[in-house]
Amino acid sequence: MTEPASCTAFVGDRQLATGAPWDVALAVRRAAGPVLIFDDATGRQIDFDLRGSDEEVVARLRGPDAPARPRGRPKLGVVAREVTLLPRHWDWLAAQPEGASAALRRLIDQARAQGAQADAVRQARTAADRFMMAMLGDRPGWEEASRALYAGDAPRFQALTEPWPPDLRDHARRLAAPAFAAG
């Protein structure tokens, strides 16, 4: 599992730290009380290996230094896999001037570009909902706020989250913001 680009830690209802994993991990090491850490992109709860010195913790989270760039042609990360298509699909691919692989890559890139906004909305909704379920699932209004989130009803979401503890409310709103910005 790769480390998140950004995460946020909470001690109870209070936000302890947010930012790069190594910065949050160092804040967690110094915290008193139980701490929960969340990946800001997915809303999933995560844990860090906090054994050893601060330098060892940071080194584990930052990963090994990038090796020197080797000489020669760069690796493109091409992965060969089996694709099952109907004969008419193979015929169409064979007729493409750039070849089957290039045509498939082009089609996939077009589909990804067309679905990028919907993917961002879905990811924001999922991350906010996961966080809210973990930290606010026993609070009044949580279920209705989740429904408002999935319905794209930003004013209702704002109103329903207003009574929540400020740090939890603000983080849930931050995670949900991309879902409402698209609509």
Are 104 and 176 in the same domain? yes
Is residue 78 in some structural domain? no
**pLDDT for residue 173:** 98
What average pLDDT score do residues 122-137 get?
A: 97
Q: How many residues are recorded in the chain? A: 183
Are 95 and 176 in the same domain? yes
**Contact (Cβ atoms closer than 8 angstroms) between residue 39 and residue 171:** no
Bridge partner residues of 13 (DSSP): none
Whole-prediction pTM value? Answer: 0.76
CA 14 to the chain's CA centroid: 22
pLDDT band for 68, please (50, 70, 90 cuts). low
Q: What share of the chain is helix, strand, coil (3-state, %, to 5)?
A: 55, 10, 35
Query: Domain range spanning residue 46?
Result: 7-62
Token pair listed for 17: 């730290």
Q: What is the per-residue DSSP string for 48-60?
A: ----S-HHHHHHH
Are 110 and 175 in the same domain? yes
Instruction: Please state, rounded to an integer, the average pLDDT across all residues of the chain.
Output: 90
Is residue 159 in some structural domain? yes
Domain boundary among 19, 44, 62: 62
Is residue 74 in some structural domain? no
Are 114 and 169 in the same domain? yes
> What is the Rg, in whole angstroms, of the alpha carbon atoms belonging to the chain?
22
**Contact (Cβ atoms closer than 8 angstroms) between residue 169 and residue 162:** yes
Place of tokens 């050893």: 52
Is residue 84 in some structural domain? no
pLDDT band for 182, please (50, 70, 90 cuts). low
What's the rounded Cα separation, in Å, for the pair 42 and 29?
23
Domains: count for the chain: 2
**Contact (Cβ atoms closer than 8 angstroms) between residue 157 and residue 148:** yes
What average pLDDT score do residues 152-164 get?
A: 97
Are 95 and 155 in the same domain? yes
Are 127 and 177 in the same domain? yes
Of 109, 87, 86, the residue nearest 98 (C-alpha): 109
